Amino acid sequence: MRKTDLYSYNNHPYSPGGSAIKRVLWYYVNVLVFKSSLFPFYGIKNALLRLFGAKIGAEVEIKPCVNIKYPWLLTIGNEVWIGEGVWIDNLVMVTIGSNVCLSQGVTILTGSHNYKKSSFDLFTGHVILEDGVWLGAGSIVNLNVTAASHSVLSSGSVATKNLEPYSIYQGNPAIKVRDRVIE
């Protein structure tokens, strides 16, 4: 019976883009400004993200202790709230629409590994959060998931498949529990 051999792991042909210098600079900016609890200034955070290639709309509020892998693979619309402890692990593009709320502790994942291969190969897939989406505290969105307009992923839930518009999802894996009605 074959076994996992992490020594044989090779993430070729994956490349996050950007030069090595850009990636190193971002690493330190991310640690010192975004992942820190000592830097609550939204405007400066948004300007830094733009400087590193992110497309950021107006009135984006990024709370302390947020981890963003690669800003050049990130698009955020207007009036977006990103809560404390959010991790955007964007190995490939993550698109966040307008009026989206990512509550504290949300994780967005765009990469995984092929457990069927001994070399544990990397594979990636984008994540799209359309306008009006709310991801509850501690929820997880996996790669290749689109959360359609105004869908809700409740606290602690795990999205492994697309979420329908104006629907509320709960559980692991998340299933639709009811429609979202906005008054």
* Alpha carbons 157 and 52: distance in angstroms, whole number: 31
Asked if 66 and 90 count as a contact pair (C-beta separation under 8 A), the reply is: no
Question: Which of 76, 84, 78 lies closest to 107, judged by CA?
Answer: 84
Q: Which residues contact 98 (CB under 8 A, 6 or more apart)?
A: 57, 77, 78, 79, 80, 131, 132
pTM for the whole structure: 0.96
* Residue 6 domain flag: no
Asked if 38 and 64 count as a contact pair (C-beta separation under 8 A), the reply is: yes
pLDDT reported for residue 7? 96
Question: Which of 86, 94, 71 lies closest to 22, judged by CA?
Answer: 71
Give yes or no for residue 36 having a pLDDT over 90. Answer: yes
* Residue 46 domain flag: yes
| Helix intervals (H) in 30-146 | 42-51
Encoded tokens for 130: 């359309």
Please write the tens of the pLDDT for every residue from 88-146: 999 999 999 999 999 999 999 999 999 999 999 999 999 999 999 999 999 999 999 99
Q: Which residues contact 92 (CB under 8 A, 6 or more apart)?
A: 73, 110, 111, 124, 125, 126
* Residue 64 domain flag: yes
* Residue 5 domain flag: no
Give yes or no for residue 44 having a pLDDT over 90. Answer: yes
Collapsed DSSP state (helix, strand, coil) of residue 145: strand
Number of domains in the chain: 1
* Residue 54 domain flag: yes
Domain region containing 62: 19-179
Name the β-bridge partners of 158.
140
When pLDDT is cut at 50, 70 and 90, the band that residue 40 belongs to is confident
With pLDDT > 90 as the criterion, what percentage of the chain qualifies? 96
When pLDDT is cut at 50, 70 and 90, the band that residue 12 belongs to is confident
* Residue 135 domain flag: yes
Number of neighbouring beta carbons within 10 Å of residue 178: 10
CA distances from 77 to 1, 116, 130, 169 (A): 49, 37, 9, 23
Please write the tens of the pLDDT for every residue from 110-123: 999 999 999 999 99
* Residue 9 domain flag: no
* Residue 3 domain flag: no
CATH number of residue 58's parent domain:
2.160.10.10
Question: Which of 32, 23, 101, 109 lies closest to 62, judged by CA?
Answer: 101
